[in-house]
């Protein structure tokens, strides 16, 4: 059996899901489950996936700790193929030195318009690490029947849900409470039952019901139920929206500082809306070097000018499927 390892130590929930189609493609190509090294709590998203073998997860993000954790994993087991989305702290070189076959340069080139998870697959196919037949493996998160049933039950008698995800952990990526409130009114007028999700809910949305609480897998199951009821999830470039896309729910992504062409949701059920596409500050291929990303401030306006460019009417039309 070919032993395959994927190293995904970038840190966000969304990063795990960006790597997941590659995990599936590697498993299908080599005919064996793929081990994964990643962070908690995103490791939970891989549970019950038959293409995933052992998951080694750490919660220690401190300097040097992720590499030491990987070294411990590699000391316990030999791999024939190692793929890494992660290069910092010499992790890429460590992976390349630890297996006869490796792919550790998945961010090379990074052309705008090539979605990150699709780009990973294309590069793995170019490198001969996956079979071309699996180079367009869709993103999908596996739920057990019991989990799916629990998600349906938790959603109760909500008939046609619209779930708003206003927070992102980074204010420069957020559309703003007033716009979400106007969107909520429009969605209610279109017959949707509007709910909110996420840890941060702005005051303007405080009167709306919240999505039922639970852990990450329960969230995924509830979002799958939103999808089966003809619902929609609207939010920025953030984990819960990517989870919704991964369980087949229709999503509308609101992209400001991040490029929709790079970080947009690859699901066929996704609408990726880009605010101010021509902003000269945006660096689709080098987000961490982008001025507004590391300062957290837009140089053009008190709030992100790109997100202000996304009119409520445009988002509402995408959400109701016009
Ligand atoms: S500079 Fe402003 S308008 Fe441009 S991407 Fe950054 S936040 Fe958006």
From the CB of 282, is ligand 1 less than 6 Å away? yes
CA distances from 62 to 86, 92, 221, 241, 276 (A): 15, 18, 31, 27, 36
Q: Could you tell me the distance, in angstroms and rounded to a whole number, from the CA of residue 234 to the centre of ligand 1? A: 20
Residue pLDDT tens, the chain, 322 long? 899 999 999 988 899 999 999 999 999 999 999 999 999 999 999 999 999 999 999 999 999 999 999 999 999 999 999 999 999 999 999 999 999 999 999 999 878 889 999 999 999 999 999 999 999 999 999 999 999 999 999 999 999 999 999 998 888 999 999 999 999 999 999 999 999 998 778 999 999 999 988 999 999 999 999 999 999 999 998 999 999 999 999 999 999 999 999 999 998 889 999 999 999 999 988 888 899 998 999 999 999 999 999 999 999 999 998 6
The rounded distance, in Å, linking the Cα atoms of 182 and 163 is: 14
Domains and CATH numbers, the chain: 4-134 (3.40.50.2000), 145-320 (3.40.50.2000)
What atom in ligand 1 is closest to the CA of residue 304? 7
Q: Hey, whose CA ends up nearest to atom 2 of ligand 1? A: 298
Closest CA to 265 of 16, 90, 17, 9: 17
Candidate from 292, 293, 295 with most ligand 1 atoms within 8 A of CB, to mutate: 292
CB of residue 107 inside a 6 A radius of ligand 1: no
Q: In testing the pocket of ligand 1, which one of 263, 282, 285 has its CB within 8 Å of the most ligand atoms?
A: 282
Question: 138 near 151, Cβ under 8 Å?
Answer: no
The answer for residues whose C-beta is within 8 angstroms of residue 76's C-beta and 6 or more apart is none
From 279, 289, 308, 309, the mutation candidate for ligand 1 (largest count of ligand atoms within 8 A of CB) is 279
């Amino acid at each position: 059996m070919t032993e395959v390892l994927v190293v995904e130590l970038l840190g966000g929930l969304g990063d795990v899901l960006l790597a997941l189609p590659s995990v599936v493609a590697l498993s299908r190509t080599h005919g064996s489950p793929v081990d994964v090294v990643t962070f908690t709590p995103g490791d939970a998203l891989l549970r019950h996936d038959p293409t995933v073998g052992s998951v080694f997860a750490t919660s220690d993000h401190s300097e040097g700790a992720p590499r030491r954790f990987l070294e411990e994993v590699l000391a316990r087991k030999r791999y024939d193929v190692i793929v890494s989305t992660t290069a910092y702290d010499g992790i890429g070189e460590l992976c390349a030195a630890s297996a006869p076959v490796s792919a550790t340069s998945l961010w090379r080139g990074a052309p705008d318009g090539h979605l990150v998870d699709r780009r990973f697959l294309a590069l793995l196919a170019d490198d001969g690490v996956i079979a071309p037949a699996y180079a367009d493996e869709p993103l999908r998160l596996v739920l057990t029947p019991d989990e799916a049933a629990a998600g349906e039950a938790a959603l109760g008698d909500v008939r046609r849900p619209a779930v708003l995800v206003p927070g992102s952990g980074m204010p420069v990526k957020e559309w703003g409470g007033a716009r979400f409130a106007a969107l909520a009114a429009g969605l209610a007028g279109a017959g949707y039952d509007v709910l909110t999700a996420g840890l941060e809910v702005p005051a303007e949305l405080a009167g709306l019901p919240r999505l039922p609480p639970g852990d990450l897998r329960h969230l995924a199951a509830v979002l799958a139920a939103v999808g089966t009821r003809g619902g929609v999830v609207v939010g920025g470039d953030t984990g819960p929206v990517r989870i919704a896309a991964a369980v087949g729910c229709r999503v509308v992504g609101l992209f400001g500082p991040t490029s929709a062409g790079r970080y947009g949701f690859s699901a066929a059920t996704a609408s990726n809306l880009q605010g101010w596409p021509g902003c000269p500050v945006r660096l689709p291929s080098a987000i961490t070097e982008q001025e507004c990303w590391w300062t957290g401030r837009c140089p053009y306006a008190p709030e992100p000018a790109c997100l202000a460019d996304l009119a409520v009417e445009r988002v509402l039309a995408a959400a109701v499927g016009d």
